[in-house]
Amino acid sequence: MDSYRFWVQAHPFLSAALQFGLLGTLGEVVAASLKARRPALPCSPLQLLAKTLAWALLGLVIKAGFVGMKGFTLALLDHHILPAFLGSGLGWAIALSALTNVFFGPQMMLFHRLEDNLILHRRGFDGMGPALWTLVWFWIPAHTLTFSLPADYQVGLAALWSLVLGVILGLSRKG
């Protein structure tokens, strides 16, 4: 774990891009395979490569978003807009997760949908309602655990959660 931590510290944005590129894409492949009940790709191989790059870009956005949301949450605490008990421990993790997923999550999801639409030559935002609900039932609890960890492990766990959500959604799809 030390080598992972040192790598993340030395290359925070590169590590975020690589982890999301790999795990986010893997989540899509697993979801497509579960839906098809056999090994499957969610799109053509060239589109999958583009999706990997899109996930990597999303990793950069998420890394920056996590840093920014920590500052935002601290500012709310410093100005006594949030109660002091949310300033440490589990309270901090809950506050940071809730604020991140309410203020940052929807825009990040819309950005990700725009990436997908460009790659897959689609238009529209069908399915965004259920996607946004994942912020409540999945991402807020998942990121509460994420933000309970030391900062060096947070982006990696967030990328792993992308894979987990892909599995959950793949198992829930009627195919």
Per residue in 4-37, is it b (16+ CB within 10 Å) or e — as a string?
eeeebeeebeebbbbbbbbbbbbbbbbbbbbbee
* Residue 166 confidence (pLDDT): 86
φ, ψ (nearest 5 deg) of residue 30: -65, -45
25-59 pLDDT, tens digit per residue, is 999 999 999 999 999 999 999 999 999 999 999 99
3-27 pLDDT, tens digit per residue, is 999 999 999 999 999 999 999 999 9
| Strand, helix or coil for residue 92 | helix
Spacing of C-alpha 67 from chain mean position: 14
- What six digits make up the tokens of 48? 């999958």
Per the document, the length of the chain is 175
| Strand, helix or coil for residue 149 | coil
